[in-house]
Structure 1
């Protein structure tokens, strides 16, 4: 069975069937209760291994909370109710029509409200697709969908295993990679024309060091107040409108 908001699949039969039949992109996390029967645990681990999913063991009371007291029988899957786009297919489609797309890459945005707000801004400014990592980040959940106020239906979101490798592949296809950094170039000087990717870092840690090494240029938002940071979704919105201005200048 599933929870009311469709973000969880739980119960032994339903959980094992979902692991067997659904793609890894649909499964965000696998929770297995401490102390379940060894045969059952082995089944879960074997199926998760085939899909390269990490199994997280947890006490029964945590699983109870996840599914609001539902009969989980020791297995809960956090799943996505929404389909993800295939990045390679998207890139091929852009090339076929001669499009110079603007892509937004999110490095481990963990708050679903931030992701939903970013989706809303992305739709408003014409972002062609969003790239997120499969691990340590919010996926497409009902909370994201609600916060996006419908934008989730219009902006393709692709999940990838490794952001660093993805940026390398994008560079080979002619994309320029821009990221955010306190010591970067003033964002008002940013020329976002051409095949472009903007990388937004994690809410607390920013862009991971290995990923930051892949940047062709870093951008900063100048701040004159006392608080030297902005919410991730707010900062993203400002940068996206600079992109829109750059690519569609007033005549």
Structure 2
């Protein structure tokens, strides 16, 4: 398999990838005893006019393809990685796919693909427009991320930044508020978001699972906020923290929920 190719697995991930016009998929491999699954995939391939091969194999042959124990749900796809553009495209309306870009995320060296995928899933649920990942010391795209994202990776715009500190400075200069999440912060996220207006453009920064946001990253943010929880407890998982933050901003945008 070529470097730019990898396997996507799981129904939601594969179906969403097939529907993505920007995703090239060479072949989809299904278990031969699931006629309903095979029919559904063939319909998507036909509707999207994709030149994707569809193979039916026994379960052992399918699992030998991926060579590891994953929750494939009877379907995998041999796919090409997306063309991930530099975050500067966000500032260029002519190049940006979405003109009404209001909320985004920066991931500072996250390395757990399940956490990254879960953040994508929550981002889609609560209307976050894009995610910026660092080009080094992180994972941008693989099968585990796409499986955990349950299809959201194909619909949330992904960008890359070579230097997160510089990216934050550029967002601020372009009129964005940048809020870093840190469990030791004295300000809480609810209080800070209440100060915002619905028209404000906001980027949230989440740090790595073990170390959190790096010192220089914190220094460059407009605000550093935490999520209140029960005293003398450990900080919550980064993907759970992201879901809470996204819901807070979703409530601000949907006043009927307040």
Relative to the length of structure 1, the TM-score reads 0.65
Partner of 1:115: 116
Q: Tell me the alpha carbon deviations over residues 45-98 of structure 1, each in whole angstroms, 9 at most, x when there is no partner.
A: xxxxxxxxxxxxxxxxxxxxxx97xxxxxxxxxx97233134222321289987
Unaligned runs of 5+ in 1: 8-66, 69-78
3-state SS in 2 of match to 1:6: strand
Partner of 2:216: 210
The alignment status of 1:161 with 2:167, answered yes or no, reads no
The alignment status of 1:82 with 2:88, answered yes or no, reads no
Partner of 2:48: none
Alignment of 1:66-215 (within 5 A): 81-93=81-93, 99=100, 101-181=102-182, 182-191=184-193, 192=196, 193=198, 194-215=200-221
3-state SS in 1 of match to 2:6: coil
Partner of 2:228: 222
1:246–1:95: structure 2 CA closer, same or farther, 3 Å change rule?
farther
Q: Tell me the alpha carbon deviations over residues 20-48 of structure 1, each in whole angstroms, 9 at most, x when there is no partner.
A: xxxxxxxxxxxxxxxxxxxxxxxxxxxxx
Residue 219 (structure 1) shift: 1.1
> Do 1:109 and 1:201's aligned partners in 2 also have CA atoms closer than 8 Å?
yes
* TM superposition outliers: structure 1 runs of 4+ over 6 Å: 94-98
Partner of 1:237: 243
1:81–1:250: structure 2 CA closer, same or farther, 3 Å change rule?
same
Unaligned runs of 5+ in 2: 8-65, 68-78
How many pairs does the alignment contain? 181
3-state SS in 1 of match to 2:185: strand
> Do 1:180 and 1:219's aligned partners in 2 also have CA atoms closer than 8 Å?
yes
Residue 229 (structure 1) shift: 0.9
> Do 2:86 and 2:161's aligned partners in 1 also have CA atoms closer than 8 Å?
no
Q: Tell me the alpha carbon deviations over residues 106-141 of structure 1, each in whole angstroms, 9 at most, x when there is no partner.
A: 111100010000000001111111011011111111
